[in-house]
Amino acid sequence: MFRRFLLVLAMALPALAAAKVPPAEVAVLATLHQLHATTPAYSFDTLGQVIERLQPEVLCVELQPDDLQRRPAEATKQEYPRVVYPLIDRHHYRVYAMEPAEPTYSDILTPYIQAGHDFSVREPEQAEAFSRYSDGAYIGLQTYWTSPARVNDAVTDAVLRAKHELQQAMVGDGERIGWERWNRQFLAVILQAAKENPGKRIVVLVGAEHGYWLRGHLAQATGVQLLDTAELLRAPAAKPIQHAGRADVPMT
């Protein structure tokens, strides 16, 4: 009887231990890259204020690992030199790079980009029609984006989900597979960060088009408490948390 009790206890201990580990809080914060410059309600300055308002202890960023060391100029992802790098230096966040190093970077992106090119050659009229549709969607969204909360809400996610569903239907498997692989790379890094930082708040900085995909998958992930970013941004600002120590940059 005693041996049976010990066996049951040994089997139960891992589950009990896991239950005591608090999940990481994860907020996916959509960024607009260069469009912050032309979106008054979500300017570069406002982005910096929003990141600080969310009070992260950990950042997951849309960069390759060596970008965090070199900090190159960015033609598209202008928020990094203008906003994110200064915040990392000021607050000493732990930082995870979500984009992979080579050769994985090119292994995912090269066929993905090629699929889009092949579509434009194969179906030039459809490609032009989709380009006009995409431009129109962003014109509408920029009018809708009267606050950072709206950039991160269900309406924006629905519009950008529909854009990608249409894009995949028109371009084909190369688009669908490439988009899935790229987002799964981001998801894997976020889940790694959550595993290594239980109970801490992780803010994921990612282009707005990735928001719907990551939120949908993180909502089903274990070890993660997905926060409603839009609701957090609508709520009154909380008292700031002080972060001590130097910046910790895992080479992920």
Give me the residue spans of the domains in the chain.
21-234
On whether the CB atoms of residues 24 and 197 are closer than 8 A, the answer is yes
CA angle 212, 214, 219 (to 5 degrees): 100
What is the rounded distance in angstroms from the CA atom of residue 201 to the CA atom of residue 23?
9
3-state secondary structure of 55: coil
What is the rounded distance in angstroms from the CA atom of residue 4 to the CA atom of residue 205?
50
Q: Is pLDDT at 4 greater than 90 in this prediction?
A: no
pLDDT band of residue 235 (cuts 50, 70, 90) is confident
The pTM is what? 0.87
Q: Is pLDDT at 215 greater than 60 in this prediction?
A: yes
pLDDT in tens, 105-120: 999 999 999 999 999 9
